[in-house]
Amino acid sequence: RKEQELDSKDAIILHQFSRPSNGVPSLSPFCLKMETYLRMADLPYQNYFDGKLSPQGKMPWIEYNHKKVSGTEFIIDFLEEKLGVNLNKHLSPHERAVSRAVTKMVEEHFYWTLAYCQWVENLHETQKMVSLFGPFSDLLKWILCHLTKGIVKREMYGHGIGRFSEEEMYTLMEKDMRTLAGLLGDKKYIMGPNVSTVDATVFGHLAQAMWTLPGTRPERLIKGELINLAMYCERIRRKFWPEWHHDDDNTLYESEDSSEASKTYSPLQDFSFYSRTETFDEEGNSISQTPDTDYTGHSLFDSDVDMDEYRDHEQCK
């Protein structure tokens, strides 16, 4: 198929995998991390789901002013330098060090146990979520998923974590999740009351356990004993992904102040120009929108979930 010409002049083009069929933005923690970061930083961007990897063989990657950058860490550094954004400017040197340590734990350790759960143990469910169309879509999905399974197992073995038993890998996963739950505590975000870059990383990975791994051990853990992580995921989803809705949402996370109008959702866009502070009508005219309101005009503070609400719910039970 002839590739569509893209003009990245003064525009962020985000290349990533296609949207899955279950309503979650991405089955890739790194793609979800990158897109969530762009929304947190309020940087307008355009998605491009061509499936083409970067020159380094990475996904996601961006184009900006005809410059190609891959690797989420390098992308964020590049955008900070070129556009002057910085989600970590409120952090102290110690907090920045902790933030980086948490990021590396999540991306270099926790990620692999999630990948095992998603592409090896839970492959049948993951295959249902992969979005492919055409007369041979089922066969292609089967082939794609089993190829991915082989790649994941080989890379996990090379990493070292894949040399352990399944039970040992899940023990490591649980330790990572408990560490994140302990770091978060009853705070709004990982590093305190304000969002920072590490939140995009942690959310991108925890969202997989929350919404893409039904019936698995990480899902049971995040929605059970480590409920503060589930509330954290919901908090970020509602603030930065107002159009993302899941049919199996647990009403435990709903705010008592949420109105019916605030529960209307539009589908995730496959090929779209997105800005959190502006929306665009069909004729391309901008419509003002403040960062603290969603696309319906309702305050996002009403959807912030805190631990007191959960404790009250537990006492009622």
Q: How confident is the model at residue 5 (pLDDT cuts 50, 70, 90)?
A: low
If one compares 228 and 308, the residue with the highest pLDDT of the two is 228
User: Residue 60: is the preceding peptide bond cis (ω within 30°)?
Assistant: yes
Query: Which residue, 233, 228, 237, 243, is CA-closest to 314?
Result: 228
**Domain holding 121: CATH number?**
1.20.1050.130
pLDDT of amino acid 9: 73
Residue 285 forms part of a structural domain: no
Residue 309 forms part of a structural domain: no
Does 254 have pLDDT greater than 80? Answer: no
Q: How confident is the model at residue 278 (pLDDT cuts 50, 70, 90)?
A: very low
Give the tens place of pLDDT for each residue, 112-140: 999 999 999 888 888 888 877 767 777 88
Residue 310 forms part of a structural domain: no
Residue type, 207: A
Mean of the per-residue pLDDT values of the chain? 80
Average pLDDT over residues 38-65: 91
Does 143 have pLDDT greater than 50? Answer: yes
User: In terms of residue numbers, what domain contains 193?
Assistant: 12-245
CB atoms < 10 A from the CB of 70, how many?
Answer: 17
pLDDT of amino acid 6: 64
CB atoms < 10 A from the CB of 298, how many?
Answer: 18
Query: Which residue, 313, 298, 311, is CA-closest to 238?
Result: 298
pLDDT of amino acid 13: 93
- Percent of the chain clearing pLDDT 90 (strictly above): 57
Lookup: tokens for 171: 């023990």
Residue 254 forms part of a structural domain: no
Residue 104 forms part of a structural domain: yes
Residue 225 forms part of a structural domain: yes
Q: How confident is the model at residue 22 (pLDDT cuts 50, 70, 90)?
A: confident
**pTM for the predicted model, two decimal places:** 0.78
Q: How confident is the model at residue 8 (pLDDT cuts 50, 70, 90)?
A: low
pLDDT of amino acid 285: 41
Average pLDDT over residues 8-17: 86
Give the tens place of pLDDT for each residue, 75-90: 999 999 999 999 999 9
If one compares 192 and 142, the residue with the highest pLDDT of the two is 192
Residue 155 forms part of a structural domain: yes
What is the C-alpha radius of gyration for the chain, rounded to an integer number of angstroms? Answer: 19
Q: For the chain, what is the domain count?
A: 1
Q: Give dist(CA 290, CA 110) in Å, integer.
A: 35
Does 169 have pLDDT greater than 90? Answer: yes
Residue 291 forms part of a structural domain: no
The H-assigned helical ranges of the chain are: 29-40, 72-83, 93-105, 111-116, 123-129, 137-159, 166-184, 197-211, 217-222, 227-240, 307-316
Least confident of 119-123, 128-132, 186-190, 240-244: 128-132
pLDDT of amino acid 297: 41
Average pLDDT over residues 226-242: 95
Distances from the Cα of 170 to the Cαs of 151, 177, 208, 236, in angstroms? 20, 10, 15, 26
List Cβ<8 Å contacts ≥24 apart for 255-259: 255/302, 255/303, 255/304, 255/305, 255/309, 256/309, 257/302, 258/302, 258/303, 259/298
pLDDT of amino acid 246: 61
If one compares 307 and 86, the residue with the highest pLDDT of the two is 86
If one compares 102 and 259, the residue with the highest pLDDT of the two is 102
Lookup: tokens for 69: 């950058």
